[in-house]
């Protein structure tokens, strides 16, 4: 089976590499040429456009920043639907608005093209390891056809419901991650301000009820002052914007999410949009006039 992969950013590039390692033939396309060259050197074939990728492949994976980018790549000029044959499957692994996923899937269905929305969680480290959590929306039979492909990029691959359910689940994930980082930040800054070493706090609480995957992944970054992005603040702003829009559409108030969104917006204004989302702690450090470091 030949697989197309469109979008070779922080997440997409290692995900595509894992498909190559698993023995799949890959045709890749990206707006900037550097990652394409890297994938071609690793054994992939280059596609000059999304249309050309679709013409050559049975399954096309997309990993793009947001809803407008997915619509452009799938529905736009030289897009996937211009090259796809009936029976082609699009697996959109971007994190986008659930309504956008439904809209794109409906347009694809008009041409006999199937679609799954399959956003991921785990950040760059798990993308490199091939241990992502993948949340999928779509038809069960299409999910089963693609399960083998998805399992080469993630260790947890769960069908959550119909189209849009994958991205709804991802929004729930992103709310929990953002609130966890904010809570961690408040706690470590409190400790630092009260004269307790933040690293000691981390060691003391990590084995108890406060322990979490977020705590394990993000506290070491904070303690060393390393905010190199695995997942950028500006992308978390995008996800929480989609979460809040979806919440308003369905009538689900999200008061805590709204507060964290404003923290992220403040950091963006402060020039930190490109930081890792563990950089949320910088908002609290600025308020308390202390850094929570080793």
Residue 123: count other Cβ atoms within 10 Å of its Cβ: 19
Q: Which of 17, 51, 102, 170 is catalytic?
A: 170
DSSP bridge pairs for 117: 92, 137
Contact indicator for 281, 287 with CB cutoff of 8 Å: no
- Give the single-character DSSP code of 139: -
- Give the single-character DSSP code of 107: H
Contact indicator for 267, 283 with CB cutoff of 8 Å: yes
Tell me if residue 272 is catalytic.
Answer: no
Tokens of 168: 């709804």
Residues 6+ apart with CB under 8 A from 215: 180, 184, 202, 205, 206
Q: How far apart are CA 290 and CA 191, in angstroms?
A: 10
**DSSP three-state, residue 279:** helix
281-288 helix and 165-193 helix, angle to the nearest 10 degrees: 30
Tokens of 207: 């084995």
Please classify residue 287 by burial: count the beta carbons closer than 10 Å to its beta carbon, then call 0-12 exposed, 13-18 middle and 19+ buried: exposed
Tokens of 65: 């920043």
Catalytic residues: 170
């Amino acid at each position: 089976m030949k697989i197309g992969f469109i979008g070779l950013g922080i997440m997409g590039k290692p995900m595509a590499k894992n498909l190559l390692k698993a023995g799949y033939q890959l045709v890749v396309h990206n707006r900037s040429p550097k990652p394409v060259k890297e994938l071609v050197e690793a054994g992939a074939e280059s596609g000059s456009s999304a249309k050309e990728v679709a013409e050559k492949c049975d399954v096309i994976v997309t990993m793009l920043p947001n809803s407008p980018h997915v619509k452009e790549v799938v529905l736009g000029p030289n897009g996937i639907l211009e090259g796809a044959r009936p029976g082609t499957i699009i697996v959109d692994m971007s994190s986008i608005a659930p309504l956008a996923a439904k809209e794109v899937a409906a347009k694809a269905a008009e041409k006999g093209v199937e679609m799954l929305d399959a956003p991921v969680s785990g950040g760059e480290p798990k993308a490199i390891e091939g241990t992502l959590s993948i949340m999928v929306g779509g038809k069960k039979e299409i999910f089963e056809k693609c399960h083998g492909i998805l399992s080469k990029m993630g260790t947890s691959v769960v069908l959550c419901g119909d189209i849009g359910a994958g991205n709804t689940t991802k929004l729930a994930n992103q709310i929990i991650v953002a609130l966890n980082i904010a809570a961690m930040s408040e706690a470590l800054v409190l400790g630092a301000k009260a004269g307790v070493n933040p690293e000691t706090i981390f060691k003391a609480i990590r084995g108890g009820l406060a322990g979490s995957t977020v705590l394990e992944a993000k506290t070491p970054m904070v303690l060393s002052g390393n905010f190199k992005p695995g997942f950028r603040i500006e992308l978390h702003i995008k996800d929480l914007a989609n979460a809040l829009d979806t919440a308003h559409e369905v009538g689900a108030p999200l008061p805590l999410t709204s507060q964290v969104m404003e923290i992220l917006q403040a950091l963006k204004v402060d020039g930190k949009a490109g930081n890792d989302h563990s950089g949320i702690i910088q908002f609290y450090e600025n308020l308390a006039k202390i850094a929570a470091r080793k």
